[in-house]
Structure 1
Amino acid sequence: MRGASIVTASTADIAAIRAVLQQSQDAWNRGDGTAYGACFTDDATDVTFVGTVYHGGAEIGRAHQALFDSFLKGTRLAMEIVEIRRYGADAAVVVTRGEVVKGTPKKLGKLATYTLVREADGRWRIAAVQKTKHKALMEAVSFRFQPATRPTTGPDAAR
């Protein structure tokens, strides 16, 4: 019976982690910087696709609201979770594929690595995220000329 409670707790944590990412996506899609920032810890780090670094949920929310009101107005965040890996009881790393679009994305060409933590209040929040553009051609060239660079495990091993 003890093992069952561990499995249940882990399943509940995975669901909570997924829920935080869904909340961040929903906030983005509404253009709600305050709600987006609330998904992050007070000392979070957000490294954007263009290389800007923001610190703390409040700053992340404020900056994204400015973006939602201008460059990102009317955009939607499409996101697919690639993997979730737990590190102890209170930390997880999540890799996603995604795209910021107006309409339906043709492909999910950006990758993001999220670090989530369970805070003292028991809620999971994003402590860090780093976004990267997937460069399929460069990757294919690397794999062709140096096959040892191809991943042997994980979701990209089959490519």
Structure 2
Amino acid sequence: MTVEEIITGMRQAWNAGDGAAWGSHFAEDADYVDAVGRIQRGRAVIADEHQKIFDTIYRGSVLEIRRLGVRQLGDGLLLLHTESTLQVPTGPREGTVDAVQTKLVRGGLIHAFHNTARVSLATVTKNDPELARRSPMDWKS
């Protein structure tokens, strides 16, 4: 699969609520770090865990994925960054969830995936306006 086929296929799998189709984009021994920090190992586990959320907290959700960048790391390994917007219609995660993902791709399959929810600096700084104005690189105790 090409990068664009992976992105399109993942969007289609999510929006269909199809864990097996989602998992088909991963290598058999892939690692997946989800948005809450759990490490899922292996295509079957990734597919099963996604089916659980498709059937519960993300039922009926709609995912959009956009490519941010891709570069060759050597030996056929690609570093792919994407961003996503998830619209969740009901339940504990109702609303919009924005995230960014890092994927390592080889041979048309994802070997590693890290998903990070995007939150505002105000949330991270606990609404400290002075700290929120500074770059995180400038944060000092």
TM-score tier by shorter-chain length is 0.7 to 0.9
Instruction: Determine if the alignment matches structure 1 residue 24 to structure 2 residue 13.
Output: no
Does the residue aligned with 2:74 lie in a helix, a strand or coil? Answer: coil
How far residue 23 of structure 1 moved from its aligned partner, in angstroms, is 0.6
Assess, with a 3 A threshold, how the Cα gap between structure 1 residues 43 and 80 changes in structure 2: closer, same or farther.
same
Q: Equivalent of 1:135, from 119, 132, 139?
A: 119
Normalising by structure 2, we get a TM-score of 0.78
Does the residue aligned with 1:50 lie in a helix, a strand or coil? Answer: coil
Partners in 2 of 1:112 and 1:145 — Cα distance? 21
Q: Equivalent of 2:66, from 59, 80, 95?
A: 80
The aligned amino acid for 1:59 is V
Normalising by structure 1, we get a TM-score of 0.70
Please tell me whether the aligned partners of residues 7 and 66 of structure 2 are also in contact (alpha carbons under 8 angstroms): no
| Greater percentage in helix | 1
Q: Which has the higher contact order (CA 8 A, sep 6+)?
A: 2
Q: Equivalent of 2:110, from 126, 134, 139?
A: 126
Does the residue aligned with 1:87 lie in a helix, a strand or coil? Answer: strand
Runs of 4+ in 1 over 4 A off after TM superposition: none
Two-structure CA RMSD over aligned residues (Å): 2.5
Q: Deviations over 1:53-75 (max 9, x none)?
A: 11111110111111111111101
Q: Deviations over 1:68-119 (max 9, x none)?
A: 111111011111111111112511011111122137xx9773111011111x
Partners in 2 of 1:60 and 1:115 — Cα distance? 15
Quote the residue 1:115 is aligned against.
104
Assess, with a 3 A threshold, how the Cα gap between structure 1 residues 16 and 129 changes in structure 2: closer, same or farther.
same
Figure out how many residues of one structure are paired with residues of the other and give that number: 126
Aligned-residue sequence identity (percent) comes to 25
The aligned amino acid for 1:146 is D
